[in-house]
Amino acid sequence: MEETVTAGQLRERGNTLFQAGDHGAALAAYTRALSLCQAGPERAVLHRNRAACYLKLEDYAKAEADASKAIEADGRDMKALFRRSQALQKLGRLDQAVSDLQRCVSLEPKNKAFQEALRALGSSMHEKMKTMSCTDSKVEQMFQILLDPQEKDVDKKQKAAQNLIVLAREEAGAEKIFQSDGVQLLTQLLDTAKADLMLAALRTLVGLCSGHRSRSMAILTELGSSRLSAVLGVEHEQVSLAACNLLHVMFDSLKEGMQKDFRGKEDAVVLDSSKEQKVLIKDLLELLPLEGASAHGRDNALNLLIKVVPRKSPKDINNSMSLWVIDQGLKKILEVGSTVCGTPGSLPVTENSRMSASVLLSKLYDDLKCDAERENFHHLCEDYVRSWFEGQELAGKLRAIQTVSCLLQGPSEAGNRVLELEGIMDCILSLCASVCEAHQLVAVEALIHAADKAKRASFITANGVSLLKEIYKHSEKDSIRIRALVGLCKLGSAGGTDFSMKQFAEGSTEKLAKQCRKWLCNEAIDAGTRRWAVEGLAYLTFDADVKEEFVEDKAAMQAMFQLTKSEDRNVLYAVASTLVNCTNSYDHEEPDPQMLELAKYAKQHIPEQHPKDKPDFVKRRVRKLLTAGVVSALACVVKSENPALTNACRELISRVFLALVAETEDRGSVVAQGGGKALIPLSLEGTEVGQTKAAQALAKITITSNPEMAFPGERIYEVVRPLVSLLHLQRSGLENFEGLMALTNLAGISERLRQKILKERAVPMIEGYMFEEHELIRLAATECMCNMAMSKEVQELFLDEGSDRLKLMVLYSGEEDEKLRRAASGTLAMLTALHPPICKRIPQVTVHWLEILQALLLSPSAELQHRGAVVVMNMMAAAREVAELLIASEMLEILTVLAKDRDKPRVAQAAQESLERAVQYGLIQPHPGQQ
């Protein structure tokens, strides 16, 4: 039984797997053996074997660590020394690699492999030293030019700055700059306060810090995080962005970057970088409420916090950084979120600052793991809102209401909690009628965001609709009217896609939508205000009549797509929501007919679908969106590094793409406009639903298009992982089927693609679906395995002891389903041709093997006959004993008849070759007249 397996047995299993080329499985076997093994010498061997696995898997840091453990046990272990030298060489630590190789040569002087490796490594060392010495004079020259106050030649200075940046991107140049007091000189460039020199310094520092933790630590110590955050807050936008980029690189290096470091040297210097990370984050938080910081500097600080603070994955159990930021800086983030532009003492912000604050708050809230952590978050938010609302003048109440809006757009649970504080809702409603435009704007926006939340919607419907109608009809300011209209749109769409749940009188939604489209197309109105028109459409397009009118309005569609390219990040979610509605790509389940009857009997409400939401209408809307350029607009959104491109937004865009590729004839157009490229990042990042929708869209494209044209160059290899994700058991049958079909297409292209599929561990999943009850999924899996069988590793799997793979393929060759027989017999034909040992195994896997082969040869299908004839021909050629079994049966008569069939030359040729082989073995006499 598996429970009683020993470390020795696991080691042997690992050795077998390693020899078969399954390095991942071998690694797992050795790791498990280590957990069971206590003896020192045995553990050393296991560490040495694991090092070999890690080398094959290109994880050189772990290969070096395991080899070192083996060497600690036995300093004369040549295999471990050689493996460590290989790992060190890949890690760039050439001097240490040489030391290990020299030890190998001294232990075994006549070993030519060791001698050759040492000679090659010596040559690499010489080249590196040559590069370093050549770099020395270049670095000194660049700094002299840049720091010389007498140097007036601007072009010369610009060239020197560019050369310095390029030098820092190469390890030799980066190390030379660092060793030559470069950081101190770069600090002098930063202190000049001249934008061009500051940019050169920051971009050079990026090269020094990229992927190098110890250098990042030293640079941070010398520069000081407060100096870096001060540079982040400068007015010059490019300098601020460059500082943001440097800080991001530093964070990455402090967390992970060890590719270029000397491990022994680094670990002595740096044990834990969390303290330094906290210092950097603290300075970023301090920058947020700082009045002297620039608006874009504040945005950059928020965007950086969004990227570096929350956990990358829920699998990482440590959320201490998020908890620390909430305790230290939640109120500082809320300071940005509560800013009311144009009021005395308000912080300088951009139109994106409050949205970025909402995104950060949302990510921090999502990173919390338990009710106690969430309760603390709520209390801090409530305390902050009360501090502005209670006992304060109007300015304070406006700040409180703005905070409510910020929270409702981010962590909406926290927004709902503060919305219920005493007096908040009444204050919002009363300020909606204010004569001051700025005050009215704040209140109306808060009312709109509150109307999103189901808990408050009935209260607002009762108290707010008449007020919003009054504002919409009588306000002289478009900025106010458009927001009031959006509030009405939200309340008017409460029934969603349910045709029977109309909030307003017949035709009202179309009138509101017409006004939204009119504002959207009016370029005289600023983009920030026009964005609200899209917000309105995002709600109104639940109505199919509105969808139909919108896709007929080319100017409105173009204006909306143009807004996605604007700097207003708030617009993305609204655009994506509108497109989801127009393409009907939201989730909707067909109701069970029996349940409908029961609901009617019980007089319960039954959702109704609008007649214009039927498939033909949706298909026409998709075509009109494609013609208007929807793919290019969405591709631009995905390509841009935009904090507003949240996971929820990614999911909506993925849904739209899946709807756009639903029809085969539209897929070429989607690929031509950049849809294929955009889908890859969407399938790798975001919500699970979003990733799956994007992966399914990729599968549809891969099934019907030439994958090498749809995903040119290296991009085709990036498609494999999303497609494999469709094979997981939690995916639907359709997703499984389309994933298998797409992988079949890729597996037939090249060995490199098959290797990528193998590396993603797809083969066991493909095999699993070969047992699926659904005939189409079973067929797709078998066809996929047929193409994968062109790989040597897969061929070997069919010979594994105790495996039913080959038996299944033989049995499927005898199934009634002709397509399944064709796929299985094609796989057998390929396997027996490429891997002759399989021919000997076929008679052992099932007693029915002979009748299955005979049935193939007697099939009315010429294709099945040919595949059967090729299998028999390969088996006859493989071994005399297999040929004897075949010839001793009725197979001889069948082959004799087929060899004379002139109507099927390919079948006749294979049958003739089988008979000739039988003659060579002396199993039959040649036909009279034959040589």
Q: Which residues are within 8 A (CB) of 267 and not within 5 positions of it... i.e. 6 or more apart? A: none
How many whole angstroms separate alpha carbon 297 and alpha carbon 27? 47
How many whole angstroms separate alpha carbon 697 and alpha carbon 494? 30
What would the two tokens of residue 712 be? Answer: 């040119």
How many whole angstroms separate alpha carbon 828 and alpha carbon 822? 10
Strand ranges in 90-244 using DSSP code E only, listed in sequence order: none
Q: Which residues are within 8 A (CB) of 639 and not within 5 positions of it... i.e. 6 or more apart? A: 678
State the DSSP code for 347: P
Q: What residues in the chain have per-residue pLDDT under 70?
A: 1-4, 124-138, 140, 147, 149, 151-154, 256-273, 452-464, 491-507, 567-569, 588-610, 640-644, 802, 927-931
In this prediction, residue 597 carries a pLDDT of 53
How many whole angstroms separate alpha carbon 873 and alpha carbon 878? 9
How many whole angstroms separate alpha carbon 276 and alpha carbon 253? 12
In this prediction, residue 611 carries a pLDDT of 72
- Coil vs helix vs strand at 839: helix
CB 297 within 8 A of CB 336: no
How many whole angstroms separate alpha carbon 591 and alpha carbon 605? 13
Burial class (CB in 10 A: 0-12, 13-18, 19+), 883: buried
In this prediction, residue 387 carries a pLDDT of 92
Chain centre distance of CA 644 = 17
In this prediction, residue 372 carries a pLDDT of 92
How many whole angstroms separate alpha carbon 887 and alpha carbon 924? 8
Q: Which residues are within 8 A (CB) of 744 and not within 5 positions of it... i.e. 6 or more apart? A: 780, 783, 784, 786, 787
In this prediction, residue 154 carries a pLDDT of 66
Please choose, from the candidates 553, 498, 485, 494, the residue with its C-alpha nearest in 3D space to the C-alpha of residue 525: 485
Strand ranges in 517-597 using DSSP code E only, listed in sequence order: none
Half-sphere exposure of 72 (CA within 13 A, CB side): 10
How many whole angstroms separate alpha carbon 577 and alpha carbon 584? 10
Please choose, from the candidates 926, 276, 248, the residue with its C-alpha nearest in 3D space to the C-alpha of residue 641: 248
- What is the rounded radius of gyration, in angstroms, for the C-alpha atoms of the chain? 35
Cα 674 to Cα 203, 545, 702: the distances in Å are 31, 30, 14
Q: Which residues are within 8 A (CB) of 291 and not within 5 positions of it... i.e. 6 or more apart? A: 345, 347, 348
Q: CB atoms < 10 A from the CB of 151, how many?
A: 13
Q: CB atoms < 10 A from the CB of 430, how many?
A: 12
Q: Which residues are within 8 A (CB) of 126 and not within 5 positions of it... i.e. 6 or more apart? A: none
Please choose, from the candidates 605, 549, 608, 610, the residue with its C-alpha nearest in 3D space to the C-alpha of residue 578: 549
Please choose, from the candidates 461, 448, 456, the residue with its C-alpha nearest in 3D space to the C-alpha of residue 501: 461
Please choose, from the candidates 734, 795, 745, 802, the residue with its C-alpha nearest in 3D space to the C-alpha of residue 769: 734
Please choose, from the candidates 47, 37, 108, 38, the residue with its C-alpha nearest in 3D space to the C-alpha of residue 74: 47
- Encoded amino acid at 677, one letter: K
CB 914 within 8 A of CB 895: yes
pLDDT tens column, 171-209: 777 887 888 777 888 888 888 888 888 888 888 888 888
Half-sphere exposure of 452 (CA within 13 A, CB side): 23
Q: Which residues are within 8 A (CB) of 133 and not within 5 positions of it... i.e. 6 or more apart? A: none
CB 240 within 8 A of CB 233: yes
How many whole angstroms separate alpha carbon 352 and alpha carbon 306? 14
In this prediction, residue 452 carries a pLDDT of 62
In this prediction, residue 176 carries a pLDDT of 79
Helix or strand (DSSP H, E) at 879 = none
pLDDT tens column, 530-541: 888 888 888 888
Burial class (CB in 10 A: 0-12, 13-18, 19+), 782: buried
How many whole angstroms separate alpha carbon 39 and alpha carbon 566? 65
Percent of the chain scored above 90 by pLDDT?
13
What would the two tokens of residue 382 be? Answer: 């409530």
In this prediction, residue 699 carries a pLDDT of 93
How many whole angstroms separate alpha carbon 625 and alpha carbon 675? 13
How many whole angstroms separate alpha carbon 789 and alpha carbon 797? 9
Query: What value, to the nearest 5°, has the Cα angle with vertex 426 and ends 421 and 428?
Result: 95
